[in-house]
Structure 1
Amino acid sequence: MSGRSQQTVLVTGASRGIGAAVILRLAADGCRLALSYRTDADAAQRIAASARDAGAEVALFQADIADPSQALTLPEQACAHFGSLDAVVANAGVTVDGPFVALTPAQVATVLRTNLSGTIRMVCAALPYLRRSRAAAIVLVSSLGGIAGKDGQVPYTASKGGVIGLCQWLGDRLGPEGIRVNAVAPGFIATDMTTQLDPEQMAPIIQASALRRVGSAEEVAHAVSFLLRPGYIQSTTLRIDGGFAR
């Protein structure tokens, strides 16, 4: 595919959900894939095998980006394996849900360390390698919660709002160098976690969407693939929420 063949992409949070869908889409696009996961090695190995079956070259790394040293060394490992790094998809994230006043400082810190601080460190560590690419791109995975807020997920929404701010700042800063930076903000997406909700829980969420349905991880992956292509979109957060009204 023009402009994509042999593009080397680092994808974090690779073991399930949106990350897994992104990997399969980029494998179909002809990308070489450096994948990282935190704990679920079996799931990561399965998605890596599926990407290889689709014809992609794949390298798999265990890394917890909440750990500063691991976040900083991950891009170096990816580039050492493939010899180059053209793009980063920062997808790794965690949440600790509950009433904000009941959350402990440690719980809040856990979410911020992974979703915001870890993302900042990892992306900044990738910049020396991205600057060598002729078509470098960064896609940050935020959330509709980072735009509209979400009850019971205050640390998560705060961290994802920070990711949107990071997108804006990096895009403005790196645009003159030709490095494209954008974000996606998925709304309610059907994943392993959301399929456990009963119809009563689903109904108000579906009614809040103009399309009257939930989204798929594949639809998010399509948007990520699009934003990794050369183009004129910069410093933009693309909402993938079915026209959510909030």
Structure 2
Amino acid sequence: MEQHKLTIDMNEATIEQLRDHHFALFGLHAVATSASGAPTIWLSVHYLERHLEVAWQETYSMFTTRRQSMAPSTKVVPTHNYPAPLGSVLTVAGNDGAGIVTPGGPAGHMEIDNTGRVELGAGLCVHDTHGMYQPVGVFDLIDVDLFQPVPKVAFFFSPIPHMAGEVATRALGPGILLDYSKSRDRSFSVEYDLHDGWSVENRPYAQPIAANEPLNQLLLVRSSALQALAMQRQRTTAAASSPIKR
């Protein structure tokens, strides 16, 4: 469990405009995965001030949900959610996504095994600023999926109709992608101006995001190594569950 923090400084004119037009701050968390899926809004902050501090704990859970659309603006509602440390395995046996969490997964990863006959949705949740587990994406769960949190977060100011758990395949507006692996204390300070945007100059840990830019390539790391590992884990799981022939 490790706290991460972002401090955003804004001038009075910017904060007044954001409030008058009912903007909020939204965050999306990157993840490496063996599965196909879509990113979801993970964090939302509706109380804005000139010196805005946003903090969260990198605490994880695995969720399952009934198969659903991954179309933009779709709200992802986990049917089952299982808090667990990295290296855990969620074995799903029920058609509704219910399962059991055990240790024994690849170090630094979360593994979800679907041993039932129904294709489900699944993914990784991270604690938000309110200490609530929120999905960082939704993915197809067919056999075995692997997930690894990536310490990159995209932030946007956007009108309030967005919500945590909402599928977002394109940027909500001009944004910033922060790489927390480049911070020793997992803390960053940036400035935001309504006209000039986010301060990214001379900040090697910050990358600008254009309005309407596709988010999958920024936030979902579709790793060939994880896909190969997932296939290996699938074979291992299948062999372990097969009856022993005499």
* TM-score normalised per structure 2: 0.28
More helix by share: 1
Higher RCO by CA contacts (8 Å cutoff, separation 6 or greater): 2
* TM-score normalised per structure 1: 0.28
More strand by share: 2
The structure having more radius of gyration, on CA atoms, is 2
